[in-house]
Structure 1
Amino acid sequence: MRHLPPLKSLIAFEAAARLGSFGAAADELSLTPSAISHQIRGLEDTLGISLFHRVGRVVELTDVGRRYAESVTEGINVIAAGTRSIERSGKSDILTIHTVPSFGTQWLMRRLSRFSAIFPDIDVRLNASVSLVNLLSEEADFSIRYGMVFPDTGVELASLPAETIVALCAPSFAKKHKLRKSKDVAGITLIHSEVNIYSWREWQRDHPDVMLKLDRGPRFDRSFMAISAAVDGLGLGLESRLLVERELQEGRLVLPFGAEGPTKVCHHLTYLKAKAHLPKMKAFREWLFEELEASQP
């Protein structure tokens, strides 16, 4: 027979460990702080170890407590995922995807019809924002993030393939400024994507023989806006080639210096380890990487 501590004690411990406070755990579980303390003390007695350091009103996980919290959190997430799966039995699964706006607008959204055609029983809900989502509280099944990502305990991170960063502009802009080689950038208007991990400042370091007007030009905090500005002929942009596939195919943008450039891992897919085995999760994960591979030139 399996030896398991009381479930109430495990739930109280997980909440206190996650929130870092008996009081916060009590609020979340609609209990009193003394009840939380009693449950955790009982769990410690059962295990024969101390899970928290207690200094006055301040509590902090011991090293053993921290390791145990990771296991308990993962187990509770598995139970929660299984419960939701049963509740939705016989219904279409809803797959909630959170993504940064530019990746969603420029690449993912225009491909979701393909996913729906292959998996008609999975309904997709797509949310786009720069705000972080809490995967542990089920705000989304997947979150596609940009830049450096430090996943929470129990969250899996899969980096998307490296993207090629290229200079791009409207055909009329390239013709007007006779853009053929990188040295031709000197003195022309640059479009700045201020949050990109590879900017014109990095490009300048890679091309020290070319002097850029880094203090001038329109600036945007989202790539999809900078791409739109380039299409409108406002200047020369510097973006991921992945995000401008349609604009290149339709001839609204050109790559005056060619399709090669520095490669950077820009985007990452995050999801709960406890939910990774669910059919809808496996389906989207495998489909996404197949589509990304097909997008490579």
Structure 2
Amino acid sequence: MRRLPALKSIQCFEAASRLGSFAAAAEELLVTPSAVSHQIRALEREVGLPLFHRIHRSIVLTDAGRRYAEQVAEAFGIIEAATHSIDRTGKADILTIHSVPSFATQWLMPRLSRYSALHPDVDVRLNASVDRVDLAAGEADFAIRYGTVFPASGVEVIPFPEETIVVLCAPGLAGGEKPLRVPEDLRDHTLIFSEVNLVSWRDWLDRMGVRGIATDRGPRFDRSFMAISAAVDGIGVGLESRLLIQRELETGRLVLPFGMMGPRLVCHHLLFLRSKAHIPKIKAFREWLAAELAGAVM
């Protein structure tokens, strides 16, 4: 248990040391000078040292009192700054989501306005990084991870629905001089590589039973959102999760030359502390995310 003097005594001491007068401190705190004097004497008994020299009707801090006043003033400043910080953020709760960059950019960000419309009392903070986040330390409320997950103790892991890994390209490439109608047509096109993807071009071609297509040349990216952007620009043909390219398909910037042909697998997971599962903002986001994913073409 913390051993702290009474807050009222600390307030009286801080005001008196700052204003140099018990009377001035009493006026500021809306109490009587005798009440201020009583509180400071109680504080002096608590710390075991005199904090003021009483000289006739004036007061002067002792050396110990001066050092104590400096530290108390600093502590009051910290409290005041913290209070102002709360005022600036208003009454809104903050939901912090830490996500792998491509999912954050391609899928989550375009939908956050829907979540905010349903939950106007919650502000969303979205951090995008491949770095691991410590949920137990309060660094985030949720983590959205890609690939295999080994959760820490007390962390709940919910897998996303299976995603289809599809071939994609700009419409001008699919219907150009060398159209893409069957997977064998890929031999006439540049392949775009997402180096961290769970399914590589070689994996996809082997599953489709396609032989004779080189997979050792082509532009390479370590983030799916960059590979998707390269495909939109017509640089080549990409291989990505159908979930991540919904906007580009809806706007016609990308097409699926072979339709939904491709393997299906769980790519992403949602992580959160089991102990926080029933906190309203945690429960609401989980339910909203599940509904959004259920309505998405995977």
Calculate the TM-score normalised by the size of structure 2: 0.68
Contact 2:204–2:262 (Cα < 8 Å) also in 1: no
Match of 1:200 in 2: 201
Secondary structure, aligned partner of 1:136? coil
Match of 1:246 in 2: 247
Match of 2:142 in 1: 142
Match of 2:292 in 1: 291
C-alpha displacement of 1:286: 0.3
C-alpha displacement of 1:208: 3.4
C-alpha displacement of 1:185: 1.2
Secondary structure, aligned partner of 2:144? strand
Equivalent residue letter for 2:268 = H
Match of 1:123 in 2: 123
Match of 2:97 in 1: 97
- Which region of structure 1 is more displaced relative to structure 2, 181-190 or 140-149? 181-190
C-alpha displacement of 1:118: 0.4
Which digits, 9 at most, give the CA deviation of each residue in 1:11-60, with x for residues without a partner?
Answer: xxxxxxxxxxxxxxxxxxxxxxxxxxxxxxxxxxxxxxxxxxxxxxxxxx
Match of 1:62 in 2: none
C-alpha displacement of 1:110: 0.6
Aligned pairs, how many? Answer: 211
Match of 2:80 in 1: none
Match of 1:277 in 2: 278
Structure 2 unaligned segments of length 5 or more: list them.
2-85
Match of 1:159 in 2: 159
Q: Residues 102 and 128 from structure 1, CA distance in 2 versus in 1: closer, same or farther, beyond 3 angstroms? A: same
Equivalent residue letter for 2:99 = T
Equivalent residue letter for 1:193 = S
Kindly report the root-mean-square deviation, in angstroms, between the aligned alpha carbons of the 2 structures: 1.7
Contact 1:168–1:236 (Cα < 8 Å) also in 2: yes
Contact 1:154–1:272 (Cα < 8 Å) also in 2: yes
Give yes or no for the alignment of 1:257 onto 2:262: no
Percent of aligned pairs sharing the same letter = 63
Structure index of larger Rg: 2
Equivalent residue letter for 1:162 = E
C-alpha displacement of 1:210: 2.8
Calculate the TM-score normalised by the size of structure 1: 0.68
| CA distance in 2 between partners of 1:167 and 1:212 (Å) | 15
| CA distance in 1 between partners of 2:209 and 2:162 (Å) | 24
**How is 1:200-219 mapped onto 2 (pairs within 5 angstroms)?**
200-219=201-220
**How is 1:217-228 mapped onto 2 (pairs within 5 angstroms)?**
217-228=218-229
Match of 2:12 in 1: none
C-alpha displacement of 1:175: 1.8
Secondary structure, aligned partner of 1:186? helix
C-alpha displacement of 1:133: 0.4
Contact 1:190–1:213 (Cα < 8 Å) also in 2: no
- Which region of structure 1 is more displaced relative to structure 2, 177-186 or 150-159? 177-186
Which digits, 9 at most, give the CA deviation of each residue in 1:233-285, with x for residues without a partner?
Answer: 11110001111001001111010011232111000000000111100000000
| CA distance in 1 between partners of 2:199 and 2:207 (Å) | 11
Which digits, 9 at most, give the CA deviation of each residue in 1:175-219, with x for residues without a partner?
Answer: 222101111112421000000001102112213333222110000
Match of 1:67 in 2: none
Secondary structure, aligned partner of 2:249? helix
**How is 1:12-161 mapped onto 2 (pairs within 5 angstroms)?**
91-161=91-161
Which digits, 9 at most, give the CA deviation of each residue in 1:72-127, with x for residues without a partner?
Answer: xxxxxxxxxxxxxxx99x93211000000000000000100000000111110000
- Which region of structure 1 is more displaced relative to structure 2, 172-181 or 216-225? 172-181
Contact 1:187–1:211 (Cα < 8 Å) also in 2: no
Contact 1:193–1:221 (Cα < 8 Å) also in 2: yes
Equivalent residue letter for 1:272 = L
| CA distance in 2 between partners of 1:160 and 1:256 (Å) | 25
| CA distance in 2 between partners of 1:228 and 1:234 (Å) | 9
Secondary structure, aligned partner of 2:136? helix
- Where do 4+ consecutive residues of structure 1 move more than 4 Å? none
| CA distance in 2 between partners of 1:209 and 1:275 (Å) | 48
| CA distance in 2 between partners of 1:152 and 1:134 (Å) | 9
- Which region of structure 1 is more displaced relative to structure 2, 90-99 or 204-213? 204-213
| CA distance in 1 between partners of 2:217 and 2:290 (Å) | 38
Contact 1:163–1:264 (Cα < 8 Å) also in 2: yes
Contact 2:204–2:263 (Cα < 8 Å) also in 1: no
| CA distance in 1 between partners of 2:107 and 2:196 (Å) | 18
